[in-house]
Each structure stands twice: as structure tokens, then as C-alpha cells.
Structure 1
């Protein structure tokens, strides 16, 4: 799959045949909430280059180090809509129950529909179903 972005924190790839953009987060923590927001905005620019319309988004956050201090929460609240807007479907791949609970809380706060889980095959099936109007 062609890469749209690769840095210390993220790899963003697009699979045109599957109509899928994948954002994979590394385990490298950000140094500050300001850096956290800046690197997510870099991801947003890569997603814009992919041309979000007609595509699904898989956010693979399994390796991410969770943060819930107020500055990070505020930054995440600002970037979530920018990351997820314009996609046909969104799924978030998590590894832990705590990660799942945090993403469910985000969904309740921002009203952006997404499927959340730790079963990659199930999430990909959900995203693929959206590409065929099922």
C-alpha cells in the first residue's frame, strides 16, 4: 500500500482497491500536548491528500501509550473531528479494555460514529461493507 506519511509517531497508508486509509500509531509517546496536536494535524494533512470522500478509515491505536491528562484530552478533542471527518466509515483498533473505554467516551462526546474493537478482521469487514453499500 502506498504510504502517505511516515514519521516517528505514525504511518499512514492508502489502499485504493479496498477504498481504505489506515493510520497506525507507534508506541513512541509525544513530548507534550502541543507536539501531540501537531503530529495529529500532520496526519490530517495526509488524510486530506488521500481524498477522504468515498474512503473508510482504520485507526490502529494498539501501540499507543494512553494519556488522559487535561492538556492531552483538550488536544484530542480538537483533533478528533479533523481526523475523522469526511470518511464513509471509521473504525478504531485498540488493544486494551481501557483503550476501548476511552474511545467509547470520545464517541459519546463528539457524536462521530465509529466501530471500536480489538478484532482487526471484524473492523475491516465493517469498513469493507461500507464500500459496497451493504
Structure 2
């Protein structure tokens, strides 16, 4: 994924790992393969993730979100909850790139981007995302 020796881990739980590459000015959020539990648990989970990301000067960084391991899920309740919580995760970064495993995942994230009104590059190619995030 192009991580450099200046990358440091600032958070990890059973769902997310957060790494910061100060040299490239990229925050990496890596989603684990553990399925989310009950919808009611999502608020607390995203509150923890958001508080870690809020310690950073978000506009200074690009966000590289690796969701390849994420189990697929698109039931209406889950979709609504994530639409409400996604800004806690992706809000405020200067650029966003999302690494997906498949074309179906790419289409789903592009649909989310349109709904959110937040531009992001969605790709199955990590190098393409890194190039996008490091360009001015």
C-alpha cells in the first residue's frame, strides 16, 4: 500500500486501524474483516474513530480508506446508519481515496459519494489512490 518508514499507528480496535504518514500527509484507515454488530453499536464505534481522527488537522491530510476486507452489507437500516455516520469518518480531509476489492464495491462507494456529496476517488488500485492523494 506504499506505507513509508514515517508511518505510525495511532489507533486500532477490532474494526479499524488508523495510520498516519506525516511525510506524505496521508491518514490510512484500514477496515478489518470483522462484521459490524448491531446497528445500535455503530454510534459508539464511530464516535471512537472520530475522536482519534479529530486529533489530527484533517484539512492537512488526504484520507486513504482501505475497505477491501469489509464484509458486504447493504440492508436499509445499515445503509441509513452509515450515511449518518460516514461524515465522522471522512469529513474534513483535503482529499479522499477509497480502496475497494471489487467492481461491485466500487459502485457501492460511488453511490455513497453521490449521496453524501463528498468527492472521492474509488479504485481497486492502491497506487492510483496514493498518486491522487499526493498530487496538489
TM-score by length of 1: 0.92
Worse-superposed segment, 100-109 or 80-89: 80-89
Q: Could you tell me which residue of structure 2 aligns to residue 98 of structure 1?
A: 104
Q: Could you tell me which residue of structure 1 aligns to residue 86 of structure 2?
A: 80
Residue correspondence of structure 1 range 48-63 to structure 2 within 5 A: 48-63=54-69
Residue correspondence of structure 1 range 13-28 to structure 2 within 5 A: 13-28=19-34
- CA–CA distance in 2 between the matches of 1:23 and 1:51? 15
**Where does structure 1 lack aligned partners over 5 or more consecutive residues?**
none
- CA–CA distance in 1 between the matches of 2:13 and 2:107? 27
SS of 2:72's partner is coil
- CA–CA distance in 1 between the matches of 2:84 and 2:27? 21
Q: Does 1:107 align with 2:113?
A: yes
By how many angstroms is 1:66 displaced? 1.5
Worse-superposed segment, 30-39 or 83-92: 30-39
By how many angstroms is 1:40 displaced? 2.5
By how many angstroms is 1:80 displaced? 1.4
- CA–CA distance in 1 between the matches of 2:43 and 2:102? 23
**Where does structure 2 lack aligned partners over 5 or more consecutive residues?**
1-6
Tell me if the contact between 2:31 and 2:68 (Cα under 8 Å) persists in the aligned partners: yes
SS of 2:36's partner is coil
Please point out which of 37, 42, 48 is paired with 2:48. 42
Query: How many pairs does the alignment contain?
Result: 130
SS of 2:20's partner is strand
- CA–CA distance in 2 between the matches of 1:40 and 1:97? 26
By how many angstroms is 1:121 displaced? 0.4
TM-score by length of 2: 0.90
- CA–CA distance in 1 between the matches of 2:67 and 2:46? 13
Q: Could you tell me which residue of structure 1 aligns to residue 122 of structure 2?
A: 116
